Each structure stands twice: as structure tokens, then as C-alpha cells.
Amino acid sequence: MFRLFKKDLTLFLHDQRSVILTFILPVILITLFAFAYGSIGHFDGRSEPVSLLVTDLDKTITSEAIIHKIDSVEDIEIIVSDPVKSKDLVIKGEYACALIIHKGFQDSLEYGSAMPVELVYDRSREMEIGILQQNLISILISSTSEIIIKKRIENYMNELFPDDENEISDDIFGTVIKNDRNKQVIKWTPVVGEKNDTKLGLIQAVAGTAILMLLFSVAGVGTSILEEKENGTINRLLYSPLKGSAILYSKMLFAFFISILQLTAMFLFAWLILNMDMSVSIPGLILMIIATSFAVSSLGIFLAAVAKTRQQAHNLSTIIILVMSAIGGSMIPLFIMPPILQKIALLSVNYWGIQGFYDLFWRVLPLKEILPKILILMSIGIITTLASIRLFKKRIMKMQ
Amino acid sequence: MITVRSVSKTFGNIKALDEVTFNIKKGEIFGILGPNGAGKSTIVNILNTLVRPDKGDVIIDGVNIKNDGETIKMIMGVVPQEISLYEELSAYENMMFWGGLYDIPKQKLNKYIQKTLEIVDLVNRKDDRIKTFSGGMKRRINIACSLLHNPKILVLDEPTVGVDPQNRNHIFEVIERLNEEGMTIIYTTHYMEEAERFCDNISIIDVGRIIAQGTLKELRQISDVKDLLTIKLADSNSALISRITSENPLFRFDSTSGSLKVECGNIGNDTSIIINQIQNSGGVIERINSQGTNLESIYLKLTGKELRD
């Protein structure tokens, strides 16, 4: 069996395309995805500021104060413009939205009427609108509330003490607002992802891409059995004193070995080049790599075992790997998907692998907590291995 | 050396072999001749213990294949019909791999590889990848890989399919050399001239049954195929032809070719007699063609079919 393994390894190393597909392409994809997902894992949730076009038609102290307050928010960058140009820029897609403070804004606050404020936006840029919406509502409510309260205190004091100065009302307002500002309504305490510096996006990129590419690599190994059947080398191997089962086991061993090598190389790359924090449970990491490699390599061999010809195996594995990777979270982070897809994802090997690596690198859970996912991956491996052995004996080893 | 007795094998509804019996002596070249699908490969697979016969016995070098398949595989080398090599590996790497399957010590194997490369005349190309070889060279390495464990019996399953004449001759020389060194060779082919060239004994198989077997001489007797003379007359008017065929009942006129055809036991002795008979009947001979008995005519006579590529 060792000779067969050595032969497969030599063939693999001779085939530059396989080496590139196994190691170089995943590295490129991980880097690209890590770059694309980069902001997802920020601990404080901050990203690049969203640009907001602002038009002040009211030009009062109140409207200017509001604009100043919006400008002080880190997530928003103000760009002053006129209403026609603002709308045009949003329509052309250069900005997500424009805030127009119409004339009569300050008066509306004083008289308690509806605020003439308009937000012109592009519906397709939901993420940016979401960030702006959250901040603008918060600023408008707090700022306008302060103005309304102050105005009402002044009016009330003027009615009660028409001859007095405004100092008392200012004191009352200052005390009310100060007390209100000191009040913290909700204490925000992150309990996941705060223990290490790894960004969630990087974990998603490494685990998701590595498992996807792993599936393609081992499907290639599986397909090579059919290739050997088609070019007659399987028959020749059977003419030798070698046992038929040794041929299959050596392929499985080789697929498992390549999987471990590929997955380890991906994490080493993520650690050394992308600064992935490796201060996690090392036994957990080793077991996760072994379990994921076993599950993925067995599945890859199984896909080849189901097919009758090399071309059929190639088509079948491409379709199944892509579908499974899409629903399993290799291509799109699972938490973005609707609940029904998140449930279907449980059927994919990608899901269990990616979630296991989330547990390790994001949640920084100990081995004990990751074991159920490791066991599920091992079970997938065992079931598909047994099915492959049965199918191969029936289809591949049968002589004509 | 090999005794095959009443062997039958059925795959599903197809009877691949039906009561096949033959004997192969040590050191002989035994040809199995038949068209594609006749059952040649099934015989090869049974001899090499890959396929278990439904019925009958196979004894190779005193060992019943049912009892000791491992020993059989060690004394037998099989050259498959397909070029079963790893194209991305060099000739040497292929030979190291295939020879290594027989647990030959590395040093010894290296020596065998060198010797075998000399036999197939590819020493200079040993480090080149198989994918860079011509079809004929691949065939030669295909043979070489089956010789490394020094088998007593070599089975060649259609070893010259798709090979150019030069490489074909090279392969023939290799086979003749191995046989001269005492190796027993089983040669399956559907090329008659190959079987005629070096097979001591030939078994003709069709639809899983042995139609006839023996030496070429014995097959000629069994089939009762005679030599053929084709005579073209200068003038083949119907009156003359009628006179000749009535005076010589063994003469037959072939209207398609416009020639007289005469079957004879021995062309060398009978030609002058036939010429005299035609001249006595008033015929003037323009041209004579002779065709001796060959395997093709024997096969045609026995099966009523022609063997084609």
C-alpha cells in the first residue's frame, strides 16, 4: 500500500496543475476573501465612514448644530451640497443618500410641528442606509429633544416669572440634560471574539475557502481511480500480487494525507501571513484538522465512487461541491443566510467544519466544547468511507 | 506447463467461455487467435486468477489456480492490451513501481530494470516521461514492466495493436529473444500473420469456444483448406470455358474476376499438371496467381467469417 501511496504522491508532485490547485489557488482565494470579509470581524464594529450629502436650507443655529453633531459621528462623513446636486449624485450611485433640512426646521421644533427633514436614498445600498438610519435617528431624537425641552422650560418659566432672567431656566435645563447624559441605558459587553485578535472575516475566509478547495482536491484524487480504470492500470495492479482492497485504501489514505497537508498549509499561511491568532486549543485544532480532512476526503472519494465514468465523476462532484459549499457557508457567511438555509446547511460537511473552526478561533472554546462537531465530522467520514468501499468493490474492482 | 480443462465462464447472460480445453508445453509460444469478444481476455484473466471459472480446472506449473493464486501471480507476467502505464512518470519510475509490487529488493530490481531496458532497447530514454514516448515505445515499456519479476510464463494480450511496422518488428524480436531464453509465452492476437510467424501451437477461438487447435500444419489438415491457383486466360469465351470445366471437373470459373480457380493439395507439384490440362483443352494462359494455405483461409473455412482489425 505504501508503494501505491508513494506513486500517487509522485504523480501529484509531477502534476504542476494539481499542486497549484491544491496550494496556490486556495491561498489566493483566502487572501481575497479575507480582504473582502475583513470588516466583519472588527471587535468594535467600526468600518470605513459612510459619506452623507447634507443640504441645509434652514440655515439656523439649530440646523447647523444638528449638522455639526452628525459630523462628529465617526461612522459618518459629511459632504455639503445643494438639493438638486445631492439628488443627482444619489441617482447616479455616487452616494448612498442625502439629508435635506428644509426651511422652517427650527420653527417646527419651537412650535412642535412635523420636522421638514428629508432623506433621499438609493434602496440598493441597504448596508450604508442601515448605518446612517441608526445614527441619524439617534442624533435627531436626542438633539431635537434637547431643543424642545429647553424651549418648553423657557416658555414655562416666562409664563411663571415673566420679569426674571433666563438664568434659572438655563440651570434647570443644564441639570436635566446632564443627568440624562450620565444615564447609561444599556451596558454593552462582548463575550464572543474578545479573547483574541482574529477577525471573524478571516476565520470565515480561511475555514470556508479551505474546505471548499479541499473538496475539489480530494474529488480529483477520487476521480483518479476512475482514470486508472479507464487507462487499464487498475487491471494491471490486479494482475500483481497486490490485493484489490489495497488499491482503494491507498487512494483513501492519499486523499486524507493531501487534505491534512492542504488544511495545515492554509492555517499556517493564515497564521504567518494574515496574522491569524493561534492562541487556541492546539489539541482542538489538530483534531479539527484531522476530522475535517477525514470527512472531506471520504466525501470526495464517495463522489467518485458514485460515478461510472471520469467525466460523470467530474460533473457530479463539481455540482455537489458547489451546492454544498454555497449552503454550508463556504462562499457566504452562514449568519447572512435566511433561517431555512441555515437549517439545510446542517446537511453539509462545510457547515460542521466551518462551525468547528469558528468555535476554535472566534469563540475560543476548549476541546470539550468542540468535540460534538469533531464527532459529527468523523461520522460523516466513516459513513461515506463504508459506502465508498461497497461501491468501489461493486463497480471498480469487478473484472470484465 | 499449463493445462486448461473444460473451463466455462458466464457473465450474466453471456457465455464468455464454453468448455475450453488446451495444453501449453514449457518453452513454447502458444497463440490464441480470435476476433474481439471471442473470449481471449477472459482466458487471460482466468489464467491470472482474476476471474474464477464457473466450471473446469486450470493447472499452471503444477499449481491449481483455485488453491494458490499468489504463486500463480508470481510466476506469471501479463502484458495488458492497453498501455497501462503512468504517463506522468518516467520509464524508470514506472518500472520501479511495477517491479516493486513483486517485493524485489531495490538493488536487484535496479539490475533487472537495466537488463530489461536493454532488451526493449530503451536504455537512453529511461528518464523520460512516458507521455513523451511514441506509441511503439510505450508498447515496449508496457512489455518491459511485465518482465521485471522474471516470470516463467508471459501472457501478451494483443501487444501490437496500433503499432507501426518498425516497432512491431522490434516487439517480435523481444518475444523471440525471451522465448529463446526459455520463457513460455501465451500470445493472444487477431493478426494471423503474427500467429503464423512465431506460434508453435495455435488455438482458434470464436464465441467462447475453441474451434480448432494445433500447429499450423495440423490446422491445415483439420480445416482441409487447400492451396489455390487463379488462372487468367487470354481468351475466356464461354465455349472454351465450358470445354475446360467439363474436361476438368475440379476447375471452377469465377465470373467476377473472369478467371479459372483450381484448388490443389500442393502448388509446387500440381501447377505444371494444371497448365498442361488447360493447354490440352485449347486454352492460352495469360497469367497465373498462386495462394498457399494460411491461417486466414483456415479461419475463414472453420468459422465462415473473416478476422478483421
Give me the interface pTM, i.e. the ipTM: 0.78
For the record, the C-alpha cell of B223 comes out as 480445416
Query: Residue B33's domain spans which residues?
Result: 2-222
Cα dihedral B184, B188, B190, B195 in deg (nearest 10): 10
Q: What is the CATH number of the domain that holds B120?
A: 3.40.50.300
Q: Does B85 touch chain A (CB under 8 A)?
A: yes
Query: Does one domain contain both B137 and B88?
Result: yes
pLDDT above 90 covers what percent of chain B?
Answer: 27
Confidence band, pLDDT 50/70/90 cuts, at residue A45: very low
Domain identity same for B20 and B73: yes
Q: Quote the pLDDT of residue B81.
A: 85
Q: What's the pLDDT at A398?
A: 59
Considering only A86-100, A134-148, B205-219, B249-263, which range has the smallest mean pLDDT? Answer: A134-148
User: CA of B197 to nearest chain A CA: how many angstroms apart?
Assistant: 27
Encoded amino acid at A398, one letter: K
Dig out the grid coordinates for A47 from the structure.
468600518
**Predicted local confidence at residue A177, as pLDDT:** 66
Residues in CB range of B122: below 8 A, 6 or more apart = B91, B137, B140, B141, B144
**pLDDT score, position A358:** 86
Residue B179 near residue B185, CB atoms below 8 Å: yes
Residue B304 is assigned to a structural domain of this protein = no
Instruction: Give the separation between CA A289 and CA A267, rounded to whole angstroms.
Output: 10
Which amino acid type is present at position A196? N
How close B222 comes to chain A (CA, Å)? 32
Q: What is the pLDDT of residues A173-183, one digit of tens each?
A: 777 666 555 55
Q: Is B299 part of any domain?
A: no
Task: Identify whether residues B140 and B241 lie together within a single domain.
Answer: no
Which residue among A7, A15, A235 places its CB closest to the CB of B84? A235
Listed residue (B293, B266, B290, B294) closest to B195, CA to CA: B294
- Judgement on whether residues B126 and B143 belong to the same structural domain of the protein: yes
Residue A198 has a pLDDT of 63
Q: Average of pLDDT values for A348-353?
A: 91
Mean pLDDT confidence for A290-301: 91
CB contact B179 to A (< 8 Å): no
A10:B93 CB<8 A? yes
Residue with cell string 440646523: A63
- Looking at the structure, tell me whether residues B146 and B244 fall in a common domain: no
A124/A162 Cα distance (integer angstroms): 54
Is residue B63 included in any domain, yes or no? yes
* Confidence at residue A194, expressed as pLDDT on a 0 to 100 scale: 61
Suggest the residue from B82, B90, B128, B131 to mutate for an interface test with chain A (most A CBs closer than 10 A).
B82
Residues of A in contact with B186 (CB under 8 A): none
State the nearest Cα–Cα gap between A242 and chain B, in angstroms: 7
Q: Which CATH number fits domain A50-182: 3.40.1710.10, 1.20.1730.10, 3.40.50.620, 3.30.210.10?
A: 3.40.1710.10
Q: Residues of A35-70 as b/e, b for ≥16 C-beta within 10 angstroms?
A: eebbebbeeeeeeeebbbbbbbebebebbeebbebb
Q: How many residues does chain A have?
A: 400
Beta-sheet strand order (sheet of B227-233): B251-254, B259-264, B227-233, B285-291
What is the pLDDT, as a whole number, of residue A366? 85
Tell me which residue of B56, B2, B78, B43 sits closest to B204, measured CA to CA.
B43
Selected for mutation to probe chain A from B11, B42, B101 (highest A CB count within 10 Å) is: B101
- Looking at chain A, the domain(s) classified CATH 3.40.1710.10 span 50-182
Grid cell 478561533 — which residue? A361
Residue B20 lies in a domain: yes
pLDDT surpassing 70 at residue A166: no
pLDDT at residue A295 is higher than 50: yes
The pLDDT value recorded for residue B152 is: 92
pLDDT of residue A390: 87
Q: Which residue has the cell 492497453?
A: B82
| pLDDT tens per residue, range B82-126 | 889 999 899 999 999 999 999 889 899 999 999 999 988 888 999
The predicted model gives B235-241 an average pLDDT of 83
Q: Does B27 touch chain A (CB under 8 A)?
A: no
Name the residue facing A239 among B48, B103, B129 (closest C-beta). Answer: B48
All residues of chain B having their beta carbon less than 8 Å from the beta carbon of residue A241 are 70, 73-74, 101-103
Quote the pLDDT of residue A165: 63
Of B86, B97, B145, Cβ closest to residue A3? B97
User: At which of B222, B249, B280 does a domain end?
Assistant: B222
**Interface probe with A: pick from B50, B72, B90, most Cβ of A within 10 Å:** B50
Q: pTM for the whole thing?
A: 0.71
Residue B182 falls inside a structural domain: yes
Q: Please name the amino acid found at residue B217.
A: K
Q: Evaluate the CA torsion angle B45, B48, B51, B54 in order and state its sign.
A: positive
Beta bridge partners of B76: B153
Residue A42 pLDDT: 47
Residue ranges of alpha helices (H) inside chain B are: 40-47, 69-75, 91-100, 106-119, 135-144, 165-180, 192-198, 216-223, 238-247, 267-280, 295-303
Q: Which residue, A290, A277, A295, is CA-closest to A360?
A: A277
Which three cell numbers mark A85? 446636486
The pLDDT of residue B249 is 83
- Tell me which chain A residue has its CA closest to the CA of residue B68: A241
Q: Which of B73, B88, B145 sits opposite A14 (nearest CB)?
A: B88
- Indicate if the pLDDT at residue B238 is higher than 60: yes
Q: CA nearest B29: which of B182, B147, B142, B136?
A: B182
Does residue B131 fall inside a structural domain? yes
Hey, is the C-beta of B88 within 8 angstroms of any chain A C-beta?
yes
Greatest alpha-carbon pair distance for chain B in Å reads: 81
Residue B281 three-state SS: coil
Nearest to B86 among A233, A235, A241 (CB): A233
Please choose, from the candidates A154, A47, A142, A58, the residue with its C-alpha nearest in 3D space to the C-alpha of residue A106.
A58
CATH of the domain at B253: 3.30.70.100
Shared domain for B151 and B277, answered yes or no, is no
Partner residue facing A11 (CB), from B82, B86, B145: B86
The answer on B281 and B181 residing in a single domain is no
Say if residue B147 is in the same domain as residue B269: no
Q: Is the pLDDT of residue A131 over 80?
A: no
pLDDT for A400 = 41
Identify the closest residue of chain B to A397 by CA–CA distance: B50
Which segments within chain A are labelled E, that is strand?
50-56, 76-80, 97-101, 117-121
Q: Is the pLDDT of residue A286 over 90?
A: yes
Among A47-56, A267-276, B24-33, where is mean pLDDT lowest? A47-56
**B141 and B203 housed in the same domain:** yes
Which tens digits make up the pLDDT trace of B142-156?
999 999 998 999 999
User: Which chain B residue's Cα is nearest to A5?
Assistant: B97
Same domain, B215 and B238: no
Q: Can you tell me which residue has the cell 486466414?
A: B296
Is residue B200 located within the same domain as residue B252?
no
Higher pLDDT, B7 or A142: B7
* Residue A265, CA distances (Å) to A222, A257, A301, A364, B249 in order: 21, 12, 21, 21, 89
Q: What is the pLDDT of residue A40?
A: 44
* Residue-averaged pLDDT of chain A: 82
* Amino acid A375: pLDDT: 95
How many inter-chain contacts (A to B, CB under 8 Å) are there? 59
How many domains does chain B contain in total?
2
pLDDT band per the 50, 70, 90 thresholds, residue B68: confident
Residues A325-339, mean pLDDT to the nearest whole number: 82
Note whether B214 and B232 are same-domain residues.
no
For the ranges A135-139, A172-176, B138-142, B281-285, the lowest mean pLDDT is seen at: A172-176
Average pLDDT for chain B:
86
